[in-house]
Structures are given as structure tokens and as C-alpha cells.
Amino acid sequence: MVRKSEWSGKVMLLLKAGNTAGAVAQIKVAPSVKDLQALQTAVAAAQLAGRWRDVDLAIADNLALLSAPRLHRSP
């Protein structure tokens, strides 16, 4: 049984409340790429893309960071 993550919904609530600093902080500690992609889709669906430049930048940067292959593995 797979649970759906509620993380993106909670970050969307922060954005709708106008707490962009809190949303950016949550985006920086996103649990997975899948959750960030769900947030990006939700932001686009709510027509909030482009409204806050720092939020859009944080989503794009952290998607790139989490999607990139690791340079090394710890032993």
C-alpha cells in the first residue's frame, strides 16, 4: 500500500497564505524529487507560477540538485 505524500499540499498552503519564506525553507529540505515535481505541478495548476521569483527559483534549483547523480558514494 503506497501512501500519497501530503508535503506538496502543505507547501501550497504556505504559499497561498503568503508565507514565501516558509515555503522556500520547506522546498530546500524537500523529501524527494517526486514531491518537488508534485509541488511544481500544483503551483502551475493554481496559476501561481511566476508570482514569486524566489519560490520558482528554489523549486528549479532543488529539482536540479536532487535529480543530479551523486558524485561519490560513501563507503
8 Å CB contact between 45 and 16: no
8 Å CB contact between 7 and 35: yes
pLDDT at 67: 84
Mean pLDDT to the nearest integer, 56-72: 85
In this predicted model, what pLDDT tens digit does every residue of 15-58 receive, in sequence order?
A: 999 999 999 999 999 988 999 999 999 999 999 888 999 999 99
pLDDT higher than threshold 80 for residue 69: no
State which amino acid sits at residue 31: P
